[in-house]
Amino acid sequence: MAKSESAIDLGLHLPFQIAQLHSALSAQAKVIIAQYGDLNLAQWRIVRVVALDIAHSSTAVRTAAGLDKGQFSKMLAVLEAKGYVVVHPCPEDKRQHVLELTDRARRAHDRLGPVLDARQQHLVATLTTEEQEVVRKAIKAIAAAATKTDFDITPPEPEDT
Amino acid sequence: MAKSESAIDLGLHLPFQIAQLHSALSAQAKVIIAQYGDLNLAQWRIVRVVALDIAHSSTAVRTAAGLDKGQFSKMLAVLEAKGYVVVHPCPEDKRQHVLELTDRARRAHDRLGPVLDARQQHLVATLTTEEQEVVRKAIKAIAAAATKTDFDITPPEPEDT
DNA sequence: CTCAAATGGTGGAAAAGTCAACGATCAAGT
DNA sequence: ACTTGATCGTTGACTTTTCCACCATTTGAG
């Protein structure tokens, strides 16, 4: 088989390829988003999660957007300052907030949403439905497998030097 | 079909899921690498590219490792300072350098390489060979599709506000 | 040879992301 | 009611990543 290469074929390197892919996607998103407003990627994600009614309370939005606690706090402050969201106290849990989008955010979402949907379609355009399904499943599986960190074929040996 | 959700099902979101996956993989790699030495991810990639004889001249290594120009310069300086690589002038192009690994780097690679290979296998362990093939193809295709930034369903209309 | 355009590497600035500590709030048990 | 432990959001320091302007070198055209 063509696996004669040391280890660098195409098969190996999955994390590297994912990183490359992520980089490309991120750059693409950045350019697109920049054309339509003054929000960055993280901020847009927050807006989108709320606009699609995926979540409205702060923690739920944060996890859905996949953001760090600190970063979320900062981005949310920016969004509020720019007039994209209004923050209400949460009746059920006084520690949290409830996010409400302003008209400005809704307009931005109405303009940008379709473009991002088009992008999404463009991205998977070359894949069949079955392939998309496989990819989706694989992402999930690999993400789960990525939690293990103790491989330890050979335990670290500090006195090797 | 089950596509009743606004847009947020599983199918959409690919960039987001890739981002999450990348984050998980990156964190995993970070932990593993940290156990075996004092190199970070980018530095390790450089070492690996050279160790596997994928490239030796600076620009080739940089692109193979998928690093930013500036970051590569800095990481390379660190590698040199730590005694992992020796930088020679490039005879064919005086702007570039030729990278040579030190024994230290080779030892590090000999120790860490197998662990990362094991990790790689673990990551794709749940996927069949065909599925791996699909994933590989998909990554390539999506990455290619990610270069397009001009979707412009509707051109930006500044006077919408 | 000379010039202009393109490419490579460096360094600094700005942005993004990470992390830990802190006070406020909640939940659960007593 | 009270206490303990957990969760939540904020803040500030810190690291990492990204971007851009600059100079040196190369390449190709005249």
> Mind spelling out the 3-state secondary structure of A32-77?
HHHHHCCCCHHHHHHHHHHHCCCCCEHHHHHHHHCCCHHHHHHHHH
What share of chain A in percent tops pLDDT 90? 52
CATH code (residue A84): 1.10.10.10
| Helix/strand/coil for A130 | helix
What average pLDDT does the structure give for chain B? 84
What pLDDT is stored for residue A153 in this prediction?
60
What pLDDT is stored for residue B1 in this prediction?
41
What pLDDT is stored for residue B2 in this prediction?
38
Average pLDDT of span B52-70: 93
- Is the Cβ pair A35, B156 closer than 8 Å? yes
d(CA B7, CA B137): 25
d(CA A76, CA A70): 10
pLDDT tens by residue, A12-42: 688 989 998 999 899 888 888 888 888 999 9
pLDDT tens by residue, A74-106: 999 999 999 999 999 999 899 999 999 999 999
In this prediction, residue A70 has a pLDDT band, given cuts at 50, 70 and 90, of very high
Average pLDDT of span A59-75: 95
- Is the Cβ pair A107, B154 closer than 8 Å? no
Residue A11 maps to a domain: no
Residue A38 maps to a domain: yes
d(CA A120, CA B145): 10
Residue B145 or B58, more confident = B58
In this prediction, residue A110 has a pLDDT band, given cuts at 50, 70 and 90, of very high
A145 to chain B: which residues are within 8 Å by CB? 122-126
pLDDT tens by residue, B84-112: 999 999 998 999 999 999 999 999 999 98
What share of chain B in percent tops pLDDT 70? 85
Q: Is the pLDDT of residue A45 over 90?
A: yes
Through-space separation of residue A82 CA and nucleotide D11 C1' in angstroms: 20
Asked if residue A91 keeps its beta carbon closer than 7 A to nucleic acid strand C, the reply is: no
What pLDDT is stored for residue B36 in this prediction?
82
Residue A111 or B149, more confident = A111
Nearest nucleotide by C1' position to the A74 CA atom = D10
What pLDDT is stored for residue B5 in this prediction?
35
What pLDDT is stored for residue A12 in this prediction?
60
Q: Is the pLDDT of residue B80 over 90?
A: yes
What pLDDT is stored for residue A101 in this prediction?
95
- Rounded to 10 degrees, what is the CA torsion of B97, B101, A155, B40? -20
Nearest nucleotide by C1' position to the A22 CA atom = D17
d(CA B156, CA B161): 12
Residue A54 maps to a domain: yes
d(CA B86, CA B58): 12
Residue B129 maps to a domain: yes
| Cross-chain CB nearest to A123 (options B19, B120, B142) | B142
A106 to chain B: which residues are within 8 Å by CB? none
Counting beta carbons within 10 angstroms of the beta carbon of residue A106, is it exposed (0 to 12), middle (13 to 18) or buried (19 or more)?
middle
Cβ A93 vs Cβ A32: under 8 Å = no
- Find the residue in B nearest to A35 (Cα): B156
Q: Is the pLDDT of residue A161 over 50?
A: no
Residue A156 maps to a domain: no
- Is the Cβ pair A12, B54 closer than 8 Å? no
The two three-digit tokens of residue B40, written as one number: 């970070």
In this prediction, residue A1 has a pLDDT band, given cuts at 50, 70 and 90, of very low
- The total of structural domains in chain B comes to 1
Residue B18 maps to a domain: no
Residue A5 maps to a domain: no
- Is the Cβ pair A120, B14 closer than 8 Å? yes
Distances (CA, A) of A143 to B50, B67, B132, B151: 28, 23, 14, 30
pLDDT tens by residue, B108-125: 999 988 988 888 888 888
For residue A95, give how far its alpha carbon lies from the nearest alpha carbon of chain B (Å): 26
Domain that holds residue B47: 34-144
User: What number of other Cβ atoms are within 10 A of residue B36's Cβ?
Assistant: 19
A29 to chain B: which residues are within 8 Å by CB? 15
Residue A100 maps to a domain: yes
What pLDDT is stored for residue A106 in this prediction?
94
Q: Show residues, CB within 7 A, near nucleic chain D.
A: A 23, 26-27, 30, 57-59, 62, 69-70, 72-74, 76-77, 93, 95-97; B 40-42, 68-71, 74, 92-95
User: What number of other Cβ atoms are within 10 A of residue A146's Cβ?
Assistant: 23
Residue B161 or B83, more confident = B83
In this prediction, residue B12 has a pLDDT band, given cuts at 50, 70 and 90, of low
- Is the Cβ pair A151, B11 closer than 8 Å? no
pLDDT tens by residue, A112-157: 989 988 888 888 888 999 999 999 999 989 988 887 767 666 554 5
What pLDDT is stored for residue B154 in this prediction?
53
Q: Is the pLDDT of residue A5 over 60?
A: no
| Cross-chain CB nearest to A142 (options B21, B26, B152) | B21
